[in-house]
Structure 1
Amino acid sequence: MSAVLAQALALRPMQMEDMEAIMVIEPTIYSHPWTRGNFVDSLNSGYSAWVLLQQQKIIGYALMMMVLDEAHLLNISVAKPQQKQGLGRYLLTHMIEISKRHKAANMFLEVRTSNLSAITLYESMGFCEMAIRRGYYPADPVIFKSGREDAMLMGLAL
C-alpha cells in the first residue's frame, strides 16, 4: 500500500449509522451477504466492529467476536473497487492488534475454500489451516450448481 493511500485512511468503531453504507457494499462482494440484522445483532452483542474509511467514505469493515482468550473474525470486507490495494491486509492487521489488546491467545476464522485470494492473504499473515468444515456455506451459484461449499477453518497464534 502506498504511503499516500495510507495517509487517506482512517479506522473507527462501527456505528448503527454506518448500516446504509455497509448494506451497499455487502451484497456486491458476497453471493450470500450478511443481512442488516446480522450486523445490528453483532453491534448489539458488543462485538469488536470497525469501519475503514477513505476520505470519510466507508470502503471496508470487520467484525470480531471475543470469547475468553480467543478472537473469532466473523466478517472482513473491502468494497470491490478498492480491492487488491492492500486494504484487506491493513484491516486484518488492525483486527489482529485489537485481538492482542484483548489478550487473545489465538484468532480463528472460516473462509470459503474457493476464495483463494483471501486464503492467500490469511496465509501470508501467518494463519494456518486447521480443519475443513464440510458444507459450511451455501454454495455460490456462480461457482457451484447447487448445494453447499466447504469452509477452511484457519487459526493464528497471537
Structure 2
Amino acid sequence: MTAYELRRANPDDVPAIMELERSVFASDAWSERSMLSEVTGEHGYYLVAFQPDTPEQLDGYAGLLAPRGGTEGDIQTIAVAPHARRRGLGRVLMQALIGEARRRGADEVFLEVRADNPAAQTLYRELGFEEIGVRPKYYQPDGVDAVVMRLAVPTPETTIA
C-alpha cells in the first residue's frame, strides 16, 4: 500500500478539492461555495490525503457532518483520484471519519452511495455499513438511485501490544 498522509482540510485546500471533485464527479460535482461551507462549517470534519513527497497534489478527500454530542453522523462525500484507487486510501479515509464520528459521540453513521458504484458499496459493507433504503433518482442530472447505508459505530477495541 502506498503511504499517504491525512490532515484536516482548510479553506486553502478548497481549489484542489474542487479540481478532484470535478474530475471524479463530472456530472454532479458540488459547487465551490458548498464545499467551502462544508470545509469551514462548525459541525464538519474534512480530511485531505496526499503522498508525503507531493503534498500539493491531493489524492483524496472525505468529509463528515457530525455535531459534537449528537448521536448521528453523515459521511458527506469521499473521493479518491483514479490514479490512487485500489491502494487502500478510501478505506483509510473512511476509517478516519468513523473514528472522528465516534469521538464526537455518534452511535450511527449514514451515507448515500450511487447505485451504479458497486466498488464503493463493497468497501462500505466491508466496513460494517448495511443498506437501509434507496432514494430513487437522487443523483442528478443522471437520475441514478442512491443506496442509503448505516453503520452502528463500533466500540473501539483495545489490545495488548
Q: Structure 1 CA distance, aligned partners of 2:18 and 2:74?
A: 22
**1:66 aligned residue:** 66
- Which structure has more strand as a fraction of its residues? 1
**2:79 aligned residue:** 77
Write the mapping of 1:1-158 to structure 2, written as runs, cut at 5 A: 2=1, 5-6=2-3, 9-30=4-25, 31-46=27-42, 47-55=44-52, 56=55, 57-67=57-67, 68-140=70-142, 148-158=143-153
Where 1:93 maps in the other structure, the secondary structure is helix
- What residue identity is the alignment partner of 1:34? W
C-alpha contact 2:10 2:40 (8 A) present in aligned 1: no
Which blocks of at least 5 consecutive residues in structure 1 are unaligned?
A: 141-147
Where 2:124 maps in the other structure, the secondary structure is helix
C-alpha contact 1:28 1:80 (8 A) present in aligned 2: no
After TM superposition, give the deviation of residue 38 of structure 1 in Å: 1.3
Where 2:35 maps in the other structure, the secondary structure is helix
Cα RMSD (Å) = 1.2
Which blocks of at least 5 consecutive residues in structure 2 are unaligned?
A: 154-161
TM-score, structure 1 length as denominator? 0.87
Q: Structure 2 CA distance, aligned partners of 1:26 and 1:133?
A: 22
TM-score, structure 2 length as denominator? 0.86
Q: Structure 2 CA distance, aligned partners of 1:80 and 1:26?
A: 12
CA deviation map 1:41-71 (0-9, x unaligned):
1123221111112121321111111142101
